[in-house]
């Protein structure tokens, strides 16, 4: 290990989450859910606050876990496919199920959303390690009463490291940014996709069963990647809107963007395989997305780089 690496590793091990939290809005309210709220209420709260997850409290006001959109996607899939009713009746069934299902029964239904709390005195190194292993968000709790005082997502740490706290980590950041995408392509996961003619519920099924937050959408004619659908596209779909799950994926996504007033967000964020990781990092920061597709000159997909991949590369460099 070089002297520079030792210094940077020591920095990560000595820099605490509490120090990082000082750079964020202390007055920002922690949006939380009650265990006995309906899933419909929970989805509305997530959508109205433009968040992907929230801590859940029981009657004793103790946090018992996190509910996120992937859990909601899993519940939607299981409710839809376990019944053999016609599409019209499935719509009513979903309305009824979201109305009566309690949040506590859906916590970590996806199996990808474990409750792993940390405390402010924990190090940035420990936080980075967890994110590099695929954890998407970490609740930071008051060690005295276990109240959630901050929710640190992968995007929170990513923005902090590459935008806020650039100077102390410059040698490491430059090393990472100057990597060629081609170098890391063999280690990237295969892109899972559905055809543009497939129904939204089929895409939600793939997302749920594979435990991933998003999948690509490919052209029926050319197999080229033309879009992306994620679990968060479920936000805002309640009551009579459930029939949209029987729409083609891109139509469903367009409706989702309209509901969330996100019409200007690009359908597909990508970089070319001959670019640097620097280009990927900049696009992730600008577009505030959690993943970016890597394409060749013919717009054929080569792979996908997620925030988890970035953290994994970064952690291995320490």
Does residue 88 carry a pLDDT above 70? Answer: no
Per residue in 16-57, pLDDT (tens digit) is 999 999 988 766 789 999 999 999 899 889 988 888 899 999
Percentage above 90 pLDDT, the chain: 49
The dihedral through the CA atoms of 74, 77, 80, 84 has a sign that is negative
Place of tokens 């937050």: 213
Contact between 252 and 259 under an 8 Å Cβ cutoff? The reply is: no
pLDDT of residue 91: 67
Task: Provide mean pLDDT across the span 94-123.
Answer: 91
Predicted structure pTM score: 0.88
Share the mean pLDDT of the chain: 87
Does residue 120 carry a pLDDT above 80? Answer: yes
Per residue in 222-233, pLDDT (tens digit) is 878 888 888 888
Does residue 187 carry a pLDDT above 90? Answer: no
Does residue 175 carry a pLDDT above 60? Answer: yes
For residues 318 and 173, give the distance between their C-alpha atoms in angstroms, rounded to a whole number: 11
């Amino acid at each position: 290990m070089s002297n520079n690496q030792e210094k940077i590793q020591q920095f990560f091990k000595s820099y605490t989450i509490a120090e990082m939290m000082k750079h964020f809005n202390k007055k920002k309210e922690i949006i939380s859910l009650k265990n006995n709220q309906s899933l419909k209420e929970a989805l509305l709260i997530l959508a109205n606050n433009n968040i992907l997850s929230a801590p859940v409290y029981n009657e004793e006001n103790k946090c018992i876990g996190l509910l996120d959109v992937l859990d909601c996607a899993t519940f939607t899939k299981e409710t839809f496919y376990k019944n053999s009713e016609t599409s019209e009746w499935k719509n009513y069934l979903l309305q009824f199920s979201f109305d009566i299902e309690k949040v506590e029964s859906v916590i970590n239904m996806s199996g990808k959303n474990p409750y792993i709390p940390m405390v402010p005195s924990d190090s940035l190194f420990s936080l980075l390690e967890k994110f590099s292993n695929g954890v998407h968000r970490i609740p930071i709790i008051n060690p005295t009463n276990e109240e959630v005082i901050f929710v640190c997502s992968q995007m929170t740490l990513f923005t902090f490291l590459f935008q806020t706290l650039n100077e102390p980590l410059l040698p490491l950041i430059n090393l990472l940014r100057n990597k060629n995408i081609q170098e890391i392509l063999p280690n990237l996961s295969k892109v899972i996709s559905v055809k543009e003619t497939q129904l939204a519920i089929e895409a939600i099924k793939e997302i749920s069963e594979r435990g991933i937050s998003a999948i690509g959408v490919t052209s029926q004619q050319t197999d080229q990647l033309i879009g992306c659908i994620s679990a968060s596209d479920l936000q805002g779909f309640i009551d009579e809107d459930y029939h949209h799950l029987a729409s083609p994926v891109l139509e469903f996504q367009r409706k989702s963007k309209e509901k969330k007033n996100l019409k200007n967000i690009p359908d597909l964020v990508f970089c070319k395989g001959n670019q640097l990781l620097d280009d990927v990092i900049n696009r992730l920061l600008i577009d505030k997305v959690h993943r970016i597709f890597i394409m060749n000159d013919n717009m054929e997909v080569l792979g996908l780089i997620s925030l988890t991949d970035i953290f994994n590369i970064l952690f291995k460099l320490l």
